[in-house]
A = this chain, B = another copy of it.
Amino acid sequence: MSKIPLPSEAQLEILDLLWQQQPATVQDLHERLTARRQVSYNTVLTQLQRMTKAGLVKRDTSQRTHAYRAAVKREQVERRLFHRLADTAFGGSTVNLALRALGSEKPTPEELDELQQWINEQKQ
């Protein structure tokens, strides 16, 4: 099942774009990523090729212009990334990590509600 590695930083950026809109071509992704920072088409392509090999994305090669989609679930990847961080520096407590991270934030009322709801669920 999950011998799929976690995405690297640069890969995560692209994967994030895919999660937002799938499927997508290299050009799509390059355009969208360029909106955030300067990066060449080939760089995006290479990362997509690496992610394909790694099993992080799938591609449809039936057309000359390949179409990509994520092969991993957003929730799972995010949870694993978070855990890796929590494990190495927060004594494994994700709640601690969450609290620490929240510490300096000013959440929107919606976000607060979501959090509140989560807590209520846990209490039952």
- Give chain A's interface residues, CB within 8 Å of chain B: 9, 12-13, 15-16, 75, 77-79, 81-86, 88-90, 93-108, 111-112, 114-116, 118-119, 122-123
Contact = CB atoms under 8 A, between A and B. Distances in A.
Contacts of A85: 81-82, 85
A89 B12 contact: yes
A122 B107 contact: yes
A103 B77 CA distance: 12
For the complex, would chain A's binding face be called helix, strand, loop or mixed by DSSP majority?
Answer: helix
B90 A78 contact: yes
A119 B116 contact: yes
Total identical chains: 2
A116 B104 CA distance: 15
5 contacts: A12-B88, A16-B88, A75-B100, A82-B85, A86-B101
Nearest to A84: B9
Contacts of A100: 75, 78-79, 82
Nearest to A116: B119
